[in-house]
């Protein structure tokens, strides 16, 4: 098994060398071939997915989880639509990032190039199989996919269809590899293959991310949890505060950019919190509050220390009343996950301070954290939201799936 | 000891929060204060350095190594000169990297910000202590330094002077931390402090780099060895080839961008190699050649497989005659270290292919690999040469010591 894995990784590396030399047209043709292959094999995909759904039900997985791994004709259609849209996006490879001619006439160009081989470790959604592979391919990278065991049948079928679809294109079929074993040991071996793999992107919960960070000798860009905050400053516009907080918590609570903790300045708490909590309760949101919140509004469950660092992904919200903006900032930098945090304020100096001191990928003034998303940011597509600080931070699109190299053009220059 | 280390790392994190908010002037004042402190304490530094030199001699370290760790009044003057020059470079923090206003009027700015806390693990040169700390500081980062045991006395003295010099500036003195223990176990603990440290930069040999990559749960940008190649294409200008190869090998053989392997197309070998080898031999270069090289020129030592992946850092050169550009490219991508590689050719299609297919940080046409350097590239200063692909590749200057975040300005926007 391990020997196979090394061979697969080496094949991916070889394929990446070819991929790096292909034109935009050649890569787009491959993406269209994949879309065609998926459309043609819809029935096969749905029946593989049915096995995953049956197993999930047998194993008593939650309704939300089963929904996430379910493919429908409409969802398959959307996968194909995304593939076609991807062909319309500009090629991230070959951009001249900077250019300089030195006094000795040496001409130096910094140009974007593919990263090489990318390993993606993800959880239950089978559409990620196609999304991730196609984004990597468009950016000229080979990809090694390791999906969750819940959607293993869907993943194997989808990847086999993608690989078969490449056969009549210029993209080597080794550019897409799927790990079929669901044994976690295999991930541990994968994480040591720094000879062949250039980057690991883990997408999932804290457990997965920590396992990967601990065991990988390959650079990692983590896509971890989103413990997102909204801080209501003492002079906030209360209508804006209510609308933004409601949206950030309720519109889609199961995603990483939803609000998990609401921080409220003590001077505005009385005017704002009772109304806000009413709105939340009417929408079915469970409130867990600090001591001060409990004093202000009746029948609030107490928030424990653990709540401040919990990503509920559900209709649950922790609330804390703070004495100052500084306390809010410290709370966020201590318990947050460096994802997305917002301030609601009318004072520009408060906004400036928040923007400067909050150590997160995306910092908002007077708007909902729910906007942290490649599409909403105008990136066209995204492989996920990086919660790391190196190479890519926040929504990670096609450009972030490239690196650069320096090309130096001389006429015999030597160093003095 | 471990408890102290964690406390130090946490103090560095707290200092980094302050550093991130300082103005360019406040940071520059601190750099000038450090320069002043070093000038004032020259005698103290030299006597600490003398202890290191004595120990090195007692331990029979090589002449080259002793030279590297030796400080002289002139070298100290240069350290101070670099500090002053650093104040003249533009602040890498606060650059607006991109800007977009979305259809919903949300204004999104991508701006450069400090990374946070950077751990630098380096080997014998004590000037790195000041260079690394000052570059990190200018980019708004706190730094934790771990130098080699050979220069421990110099490093402790230099860092203590730097820390003392900060006392009357706005930069918190916890922004610079030096690990005084030379126990390797302490590095292992440092590499696990992902809660406080955002980036580890190891500068040194393969052993150090592999140790760090294996044990770090913190992102790593490696500054590893340079196994640099020059490939002489079949139609190369022989005068250019000779001048460039001589420079790449002989001008300063002990540095990472010096040539270690020369690849020569078989069609030009007879016209080029005998003269070239003569030049090298006259300069005292030991040649290790492949079978074909040995047939062409007499008295050549055989190159073993190990030679192709050895960074000599010395007047030794391995030579291989290849049958095609493809063979040269495969050799470089197999045995190289992704640092700097050059082609000498008159054919633009050969140059293009080489530039595209060589998977290295810097790829040269008709010039010496010795130019891979922050100063030569116009970066002003460099913390080293990254041989990794993520975040920073090749010469790593001030801009590469920053990351970015997204600032989003709204007026109550919510997601539909």
Residue B116: which of A217, A364, A389 has the nearest Cβ? A389
Q: How confident is the model at residue B128 (pLDDT cuts 50, 70, 90)?
A: very high
Q: What percent of chain B has a predicted confidence (pLDDT) above 90?
A: 90
DSSP assignment of B194-216:
TTT--EEEEBS-HHHHHHHHHH-
A162-216 pLDDT, tens digit per residue, is 999 999 999 999 999 999 988 889 999 999 999 999 999 998 888 888 899 999 9
- CA A120 – CA A145 distance, rounded (Å): 5
Candidates A178, A213, A216; CA nearest to A198 is A216
Interface residue B63 vs chain A (CB under 8 A): no
Q: What is the pTM of this model?
A: 0.94
Average pLDDT, chain B: 95
Answer whether B280's CB lies under 8 Å from B259's CB: no
Q: How confident is the model at residue B2 (pLDDT cuts 50, 70, 90)?
A: confident
Q: How confident is the model at residue B135 (pLDDT cuts 50, 70, 90)?
A: very high
Answer whether A395's CB lies under 8 Å from A372's CB: yes
Interface residue A214 vs chain B (CB under 8 A): yes
Q: How confident is the model at residue A293 (pLDDT cuts 50, 70, 90)?
A: very high
Once rounded to an integer, what is the mean pLDDT over residues B191-209? 92
DSSP B159: H
Residue A183 pLDDT: 87
Answer whether B102's CB lies under 8 Å from B96's CB: no
pLDDT of B65 higher than 90:
no
Answer whether B369's CB lies under 8 Å from B341's CB: yes
- CA B344 – CA A414 distance, rounded (Å): 13
The bridge status of strand B228-232 relative to strand A362-367 is unpaired
For B235, phi and psi rounded to 5 degrees?
A: -110, 25
Interface residue B267 vs chain A (CB under 8 A): no
- CA A338 – CA A341 distance, rounded (Å): 8
Residue B1's contacts (CB-CB under 8 Å, 6 or more residues apart) are B181, B183, B186
Answer whether B365's CB lies under 8 Å from B383's CB: no
Average pLDDT, chain A: 95
Residue B321 pLDDT: 98
Enumerate residues 231 to 260 of chain B having a beta carbon within 8 A of any beta carbon in chain A: 237, 239-240, 243-244, 246-248, 251
B368-388 pLDDT, tens digit per residue, is 999 999 999 989 889 999 999
- CA A311 – CA B384 distance, rounded (Å): 39
DSSP A297: S
Interface residue A391 vs chain B (CB under 8 A): yes
Tokens standing for residue A84? 């076609």
pLDDT of A11 higher than 80:
yes
Tokens standing for residue B130? 């000041």
Residue B214 pLDDT: 92
- The CATH number that domain A2-224+388-409 falls under is 3.40.605.10
Query: What is the nearest CA distance from A159 to chain B, expressed in angstroms?
Result: 27
The alpha helices in A202-265, defined as continuous H runs, are 206-215, 238-250
Residue A124 pLDDT: 74
Q: How confident is the model at residue A62 (pLDDT cuts 50, 70, 90)?
A: confident
Q: What percent of chain B has a predicted confidence (pLDDT) above 70?
A: 100
DSSP assignment of B219-246:
-B--B----EEEEE-TT--HHHHHHHHH
Residue A106: which of B356, B367, B389 has the nearest Cβ? B367
Residue spans of the domains in chain A: they are 2-224+388-409, 228-371
Find the range with the poorest average confidence among B127-131, B179-183, B282-286: B179-183
Answer whether A146's CB lies under 8 Å from A183's CB: no
Answer whether B90's CB lies under 8 Å from B173's CB: no
Asked if the Cβ–Cβ distance from B217 to A213 is below 8 Å, we say yes
A12-37 pLDDT, tens digit per residue, is 999 999 999 999 999 999 999 999 99
pLDDT of B124 higher than 80:
no
Distances (CA, A) of B392 to B41, B93, B100, B134, B400: 35, 16, 25, 19, 6
- CA B27 – CA B31 distance, rounded (Å): 6
CATH for B228-371, among 3.40.50.300, 3.40.309.10, 1.10.620.20, 1.10.10.1100?
A: 3.40.309.10
Residue B274 pLDDT: 98
Tokens standing for residue B161? 């002077």
Tokens standing for residue A205? 């919960």
Q: What is the complex's ipTM, to 2 decimals? A: 0.94
The alpha helices in A151-298, defined as continuous H runs, are 152-165, 184-190, 206-215, 238-250, 266-282, 291-296
pLDDT of A400 higher than 90:
yes
Side-chain-side CA neighbours of A52 within 13 Å: the count stands at 28
- With contacts defined as CB-CB under 8 Å, which chain B residues touch A237? 412
CB atoms within 10 A of CB A275: 12
Higher pLDDT, B123 or B343: B343
Asked if the Cβ–Cβ distance from B364 to A410 is below 8 Å, we say yes
Asked if the Cβ–Cβ distance from A407 to B198 is below 8 Å, we say no
Residue B204 pLDDT: 83
Enumerate residues 317 to 356 of chain B having a beta carbon within 8 A of any beta carbon in chain A: 333, 355-356
- CA B372 – CA A108 distance, rounded (Å): 11
């Amino acid at each position: 098994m391990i020997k196979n894995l090394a061979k697969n990784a080496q094949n991916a590396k070889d394929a990446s060398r070819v991929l790096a030399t292909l034109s935009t047209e050649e890569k787009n043709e491959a993406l269209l071939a994949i879309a065609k292959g998926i459309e043609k094999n819809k029935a096969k995909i749905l029946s593989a997915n049915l096995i995953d759904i049956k197993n999930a039900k047998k194993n008593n997985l939650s309704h939300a989880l089963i929904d996430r791994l379910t493919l429908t004709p409409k969802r398959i259609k959307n996968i194909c639509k995304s593939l076609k849209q991807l062909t319309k996006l500009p090629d991230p490879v070959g951009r001249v990032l900077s250019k300089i001619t030195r006094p000795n006439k040496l001409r130096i160009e910094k140009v974007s190039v593919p990263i090489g081989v990318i390993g993606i470790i993800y959880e239950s959604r089978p559409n990620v199989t196609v999304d991730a592979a196609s984004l990597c391919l468009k950016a000229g990278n080979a990809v090694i996919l390791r999906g969750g065991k819940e959607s293993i049948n869907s993943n194997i079928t989808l990847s086999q269809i993608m690989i078969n679809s490449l056969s009549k294109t210029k993209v080597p079929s080794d550019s897409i590899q799927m790990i079929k074993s669901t044994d976690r040991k295999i991930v541990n071996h994968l994480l040591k293959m720094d000879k062949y793999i250039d980057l690991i992107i883990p997408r999932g919960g804290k457990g997965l991310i920590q396992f990967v960070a601990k065991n990988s000798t390959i650079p990692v860009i983590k896509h971890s949890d989103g413990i997102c905050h909204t801080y209501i400053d003492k002079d906030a516009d209360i209508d804006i505060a209510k609308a933004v907080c409601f949206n950030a918590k309720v519109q889609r609570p199961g995603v990483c950019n939803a609000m998990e903790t609401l921080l409220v300045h003590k001077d505005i708490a009385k005017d704002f919190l009772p109304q806000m909590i009413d709105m939340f309760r009417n929408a079915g949101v469970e409130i867990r509050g600090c001591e001060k919140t409990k004093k202000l509004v009746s029948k609030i469950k107490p928030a424990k220390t653990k709540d401040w660092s919990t990503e509920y992904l559900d209709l649950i919200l922790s609330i804390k009343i703070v004495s100052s903006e500084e306390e809010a900032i410290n709370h966020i930098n201590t318990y947050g996950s460096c994802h997305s945090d917002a301030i609601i304020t009318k004072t520009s100096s408060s906004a400036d301070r928040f923007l400067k001191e909050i150590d997160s990928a995306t910092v908002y003034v007077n708007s909902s954290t729910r906007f942290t998303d490649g599409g909403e940011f105008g990136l066209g597509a995204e492989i996920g939201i990086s919660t790391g600080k190196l190479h890519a931070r926040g929504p990670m699109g096609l450009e972030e799936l490239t690196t650069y190299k320096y090309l130096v053009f001389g006429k015999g220059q030597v160093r003095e």
